[in-house]
A and B are shown apart, each in its own frame.
Chain A
Amino acid sequence: MIVTVNALRIDAAVAIQFKDQMRAALDEAKGRVVLDLAQVEFVDSSGLGAIVAAMKQMHGGAKLELAALRPNVDKVFRLTRMDTVFPIHLAAEAAVHPHAS
């Protein structure tokens, strides 16, 4: 399953709202969920915390993965070593359908 974030920023101003929407989107999720961040230009520590919270609340063996991180978003994940916690893919579609051409 792919969950696409339709926002330019996941920051302190929207972290709580983002967390609520992720909870709703992931409630019934099973297996791998790929969070498509292609549109997101900026994530701060509040946004990072909200993504980590979404990962922590997944259950039943469901797993949160990330895709299409822009450079400034990628940097936040690297500096905090969260890039070792989430599988990170170049693109969401390819992550879900690796053999599609």
Chain B
Amino acid sequence: MPREAISAPTKRPVFQLQRDIRISFPSTSLSVRRALETVIGSLAALSLEPEELGTVELVLAEALNNVVEHAYGEGERGWISLECAHRPDGLHFTILDEGKPMPDGIAPIGLRIPLPEELDALPEGGFGWFLIQDLSHDVQYFRTGDINRLSFRINIGVTLLPN
């Protein structure tokens, strides 16, 4: 008689990525779309909730479109590299590009969300950094030589077990 499983696991099973995700693509909004598809497809191995995948897709879309629209900008060509590593404390993302540095050399985080009555003064699309800062952790930006390096962690797929 086949043996039954001794006890059903009560916590969520731990899934791992086989390897880190590394992709490079040209700086266009359509390439960003395809890159998001690739990353979301690769993360299927982690059996995340749709809501968690939605968070990853949104934060990545904001960070990558920021590169397309501001680091490179209209009519400027360039490459974007994206890396994703699964670690016990979540998903670590690094985005590299060779476009213009961030204004003042810092990522515009730490700003508050505009109030509805301030909308008239708000540039459209000015919500991107609010979403990044709301949904991710440890946001770091460095300019090294000609390279922008933005990294952040998203608190999902966490495998650190509480004591």
Measured between beta carbons, the chain B residues less than 8 angstroms from A76 are 58, 131
Contact between B126 and A45, CB atoms less than 8 A apart:
yes
A82 to B125 Cα, complex, angstroms: 13
Query: With an 8 A cutoff between CB atoms, is B146 at the interface?
Result: no
Summarize B's interface: helix, strand, loop or mixed: helix
Contact between B33 and A13, CB atoms less than 8 A apart:
yes
* CB contact between B58 and one of A15, A72, A82, A84 (< 8 Å): that residue: A72
Chain B 100-123, CB within 8 Å of chain A: the 1/0 string? 000000000000010110011011
- For chain A, give the interface size range: 20 to 34
A85 to B121 Cα, complex, angstroms: 15
* CB contact between A71 and one of B50, B57, B131 (< 8 Å): that residue: B50
Q: How many CB-defined contacts (below 8 Å) exist between A and B? A: 82
Measured between beta carbons, the chain A residues less than 8 angstroms from B57 are 42, 72
Contact between B127 and A12, CB atoms less than 8 A apart:
no
Known: A53-B124, A79-B134. A11 touches B54 (CB 8 A): no
Contact between B50 and A80, CB atoms less than 8 A apart:
no
Q: What is A's interface to B at a CB cutoff of 8 Å?
A: 9, 11-13, 15, 42, 44-46, 48-50, 52-53, 56, 71-72, 75-76, 79-82, 84-85
Q: What is B's interface to A at a CB cutoff of 8 Å?
A: 29-30, 32-33, 50-51, 54-55, 57-58, 61-62, 65, 68-69, 113, 115-116, 119-120, 122-128, 130-131, 134-135
